Amino acid sequence: MGNLLKKFPIKMVGIFALIGVILMFFVSHDDFLYTQPIMQIQKVEELSKTKEVDTFQNVDHSYVQKLSGVITNGKHKGEHITLNNTYTDSKAMDKKYKVGQKAFVVLHGQGESTIKDAKRDTPVVFLIYLAIALMFIFLKMAGITAIGSIIINTILFMVALYFDGFNNGSNVLWIFSILAVLFSAITLWLVIGWNRQMFVTLGSTAACTFLSILISLIVFRFTHEKGIFYESMQYVTQPPRPLFLAETIIGSLGAVMDESTDIISSLFALKMERPDVSRKQLFLSGRNIGKSIMGPLINVLFFIFMGETLSMTLLFLKNGNSWGYSFSMNMSLGMVQSLISGIGIVLAVPVASGLTSFFAEKRRK
C-alpha cells in the first residue's frame, strides 16, 4: 500500500486540481465573452400546471414559470428582466430553470424578452478538462499523443465537412474515404511511431474497412437494397446512399483499428521475445487473440449504432406506430451499419495475423 502511494502522482494531481479550480471559476464568470445577452436567474415562481393528453392517451404536464433575473453582459448589463418559461415533465423540447442558473435570452424591447437556452459551457469545459487531466496524469506521453491525435483529427474532420459542403455532397464518399485513411495514418503514427508495425497496422485497418464496404456493395447489388430505408435519414439535403456509406466507414474505422492494433502489437512483441517463432505460429496466435476480442467489439458497435436511435424509436412507438414500422424508420440503418462493421472486425483477424506473420521482422542479434 505504501509503495502504491509513493508511485501515485500526488503533486501532478494537485497541480491539475488547482488549474481546474481556476479554470472553472473563469468559465463560470465568462459572460463578457458572449455577444448574446445572458440572464442570471434570481427568482422562480410556478404560475400554472396543465394536464395534456394526446390521441394515443400519452399523458404529460405543462408548467409555466415566472423567471426574474439580471442581465450579466453586454450593453444591458445590470438590467432586471422578468419573463415566462414553459416546460413539460418529458422535457423533450424545453427545460425547467432554477435559481442561480444562467440562460441566454432574446430582448425584444419595451420590456419584452424570451428565454432561448441554458448556458452550459461550465459542465462541458469541466468534462473536457477532466478527460485531458486524467490522460496526462495516468498515461503521460501516451495521453499527450492521444490528445494530439484527437485535435488533429477534429481539424481534418472539419476540413472534410467544408469540402463536402463546397461540393454539395457530390463527392462525399471519396472525401470521407480519404479522411478515413488520414485518420488511421495520423493516429497510428502518433501512437505507435513511424515504423514497420505502424505500416502493417495501417494496411490491415484500411484493407479490412474497405473490404467490408466492398462486400456490402456487392450484397446491395444482388438484393437491390431491399429493407434499407434511406428516407429515414432525416434532414439530409444530399444523396443519402453515399452519405450512409461514408458514415459506416467512419463509424467502423475505430473498431477495426483497435482490433488490428491489439493483434499486431501482440504479435510483434511475441516476435521480439521469440525470434524463431514460425509464420504459422504467429498467424495462429493472432487468430486466437482476435477470437477473444472480436465479440466484444462487435457488440460495442451494435450498442452504439442502435443506442443512437433509441429515443426516436420510443417516440414512434408511443405515437401508435407498429414495431415493424418503428424499426424500419429508425433502427434498420443502424442494424445494417452494425453488420457491415462486424464484417470488417471479422476480416481484421486473418488479415492482421497474415500481414504480421509475413512482415514481422526478426530481432537482429
Give 61-84 pLDDT, tens digit per residue.
888 999 999 999 988 888 898 999
Q: How far apart are CA 336 and CA 341, in angstroms?
A: 9
Q: List the single range of 22-31, 39-48, 143-152, 200-209 with lowest mean pLDDT.
A: 143-152
Among 75, 105, 139, the domain-final residue is: 139
Query: Is 162 a member of any domain?
Result: yes
The residue among 114, 139, 164 that closes a domain is 139
User: Which of 139, 163, 189 is a domain's end point?
Assistant: 139
| Predicted local confidence at residue 235, as pLDDT | 57
pLDDT at 365: 40
Do 166 and 306 belong to one domain? yes
Q: Helix, strand or coil for residue 87?
A: strand
pLDDT tens, 20-39?
999 999 999 999 999 899 99
What span, in angstroms and rounded, lies between the C-alpha atoms of 94 and 24?
Answer: 26
Per-residue pLDDT band for 313 (boundaries 50, 70, 90) equals confident
Mean pLDDT of the 56-64 span? 82
Asked whether residue 309 falls in the same domain as residue 212, the answer is yes
* Helix pair angle (196-223, 332-359), 10° resolution: 140
Task: Tell me whether residue 184 is in a domain.
Answer: yes
- Is 294 a domain residue? yes
Q: Is the pLDDT of residue 135 over 60?
A: yes
Task: Give the number of domains in the chain.
Answer: 2
Is 364 among the domain residues? no
Q: Same domain, yes or no, for 158 and 304? A: yes
Q: CA torsion, points 197, 202, 204, 208, in degrees to nearest 10? A: 170
Q: State whether 128 and 252 are in the same domain.
A: no
Average the pLDDT over 345-364 and give the result: 82
pLDDT in tens, 111-133: 788 888 899 999 999 999 998 88
Plot region of 161 (φ>0 → left; ψ -120 to 50 → alpha; else → beta) = alpha
User: What sign does the dihedral 240-246-252-254 (CA atoms) show?
Assistant: negative
Q: Are residues 186 and 97 in the same domain?
A: no
Over pLDDT 70: what percentage of the chain? 95
Residue 364 has pLDDT above 60, yes or no: no
> Are 126 and 153 within one domain?
no
262 and 118 housed in the same domain? no
Clarify whether residues 125 and 165 are in a common domain.
no
- What average pLDDT does the chain have? 85
- The answer on 323 and 202 residing in a single domain is yes
What is the residue range of 308's domain? 141-359
Look at residue 363 and tell me whether its pLDDT is greater than 80.
no
Average pLDDT of the residues in 320-329: 84
Q: What is the mean pLDDT of residues 266-274?
A: 88
Residue 166 lies in a domain: yes
**Residue 103 pLDDT more than 50?**
yes
Residues 316 and 177 in one domain: yes
| Stretch 101-109: mean pLDDT | 88
Q: Is residue 268 part of a domain?
A: yes
pLDDT at 24: 93
In a domain, residue 365? The reply is no
- Are residues 2 and 145 both part of a single domain? no
- What are the φ/ψ torsions at residue 50 (nearest 5 degrees)? -130, 135
Residue 193 in this model has a pLDDT that exceeds 80? yes
Same-domain check for residues 18 and 131: yes
Listed range (69-78, 97-106, 233-242) with the worst mean pLDDT: 233-242
Note the pTM of the prediction, 2 decimals.
Answer: 0.76
Residue 219 placed within a domain: yes
Phi and psi, residue 335, nearest 5°: -65, -45
Cα 121 to the center of its chain, rounded Å: 18
